[in-house]
Structure 1
């Protein structure tokens, strides 16, 4: 086979070599861009998980501090024993971070998204029952029914506490790099959790 330089003029050879260097340069830049994009995406995933983690943890701390189950039992007793009594129920906004990142929820790993969405769905249900309780007429429906509705509200807050703990566990597992192991654990038949 004849040498390479017999087919091409020196200018053409230089052009081919320059083209090869240019192609290699583009390939190197593309590889660097992919690495940078992967790093930025991983940072975004961690940032979103940390923000959601902090928001969930803050609300769970309040529920635990207030011992919501015991508090609810005391209030239910007052509803049943004090004629016309019904507590003032404040509006709750425990999902500001989640609402801010909802457009980025797709960046989270599935084993994080599922428990986080379940938790925030529970918060939406709590907000709906709060609206119902705020317009409740105890005199019209009776103390027993009002106490039952209040008990449902407290039960929903207790369930939010449980769902929040599961969401924190899932986020913690992904932040610690145990995401795949956690996914296997929650999907095992013996776990009795999300995977069933």
Structure 2
């Protein structure tokens, strides 16, 4: 034992203090190891969720791409009284399964992913309403079908955005995701900063076009 402490503490007390210090250090080390292990597990869980969501979103976006309708087909539908049947699809099974863990995703990914699946849910509800409307008023149902096509385009675009962010995070890492977001933010701020300089000229050009159009209509 330390001779200096002998005048203050008995040997048994010194042994108790040393043992207590060892126990405290052990607790600190164990707690740090547990935090590191939990952080690693959270990271692995997050990456697994991202890969699963990426696969599900990519599959549905590919389906939406294949179902896109050209203008000729749309005109045929509008000219007739046939309402196309919208297939019922389960496009959110993985999302529903991992919803309780969505907070594990990188912050920059959560909003785009949630937005995409919210649009998918809206499409499903709208498709059911369209099917019921087709039994009552086919003309109205055809108009609703056009609205449904617009919803699919919005879902396709939001799905592509979610895929882009997920692929960046999964294959390049969260740091690359943050850097890409920062570059996009800087580009947006630069565009906003240029507005005061370019807006007057654009407004003047628009005014000239409107004036020429008005004068052309007034000419005999």
TM-score range, shorter chain: 0.7 to 0.9
The answer for the alignment partner of 1:21 in structure 2 is: 22
Task: Decide which moves more: 174-183 or 101-110.
Answer: 174-183
* C-alpha spacing 1:139/1:17, structure 2 compared with 1 (3 Å): closer
Given that 1:123 and 1:160 are in contact with CA atoms closer than 8 Å, whether structure 2 keeps it comes out as yes
* Larger relative contact order (Cα-Cα within 8 Å, sequence gap ≥ 6): 1
The answer for the alignment partner of 2:121 in structure 1 is 124
- Structure 1 residue ranges without an equivalent (≥5): none
Give 2:217's aligned residue.
none
Contact 1:60/1:164 (8 A) holds in 2 = yes
**Equivalent in the alignment of 1:33:** 34
- C-alpha RMSD of matched pairs (Å): 2.3
Residue in 1 that maps onto 2:215: none
Runs of 4+ in 1 over 4 A off after TM superposition: none
2-side partners of 1:153 and 1:106: how far apart?
31
In 2, the alpha carbon distance for the partners of 1:136 and 1:151 equals 14
Tell me the equivalent position of 2:169: 174
TM-score (norm 2): 0.75
Q: CA distance change for structure 1 residues 187 and 121 in 2, over 3 Å: closer, same or farther? A: farther
TM-superposed CA distance for 1:67, in Å, is 4.8
Deviation string, structure 1 residues 138-178 (Cα, Å, up to 9, x no partner): 77352xx4433212111211211110111011122222221
Q: Name the SS for the 1:21 alignment partner.
A: helix
After TM superposition, the score normalised by the length of structure 1 is 0.84
How many angstroms apart in 1 are the aligned matches of 2:112 and 2:14?
A: 61
Residue number in structure 2 paired with 1:11: 12
How many residue pairs were aligned? Answer: 185
Q: 8 Å contact 2:53–2:95 — kept in the other structure?
A: yes
Runs of at least 5 residues in structure 2 that lack an aligned partner in the other structure: 192-220
Name which one, 1 or 2, has greater alpha-carbon Rg: 2
Q: Relative to total residues, which structure has the larger helix share, 1 or 2?
A: 2
Local SS of the residue matching 1:127? helix
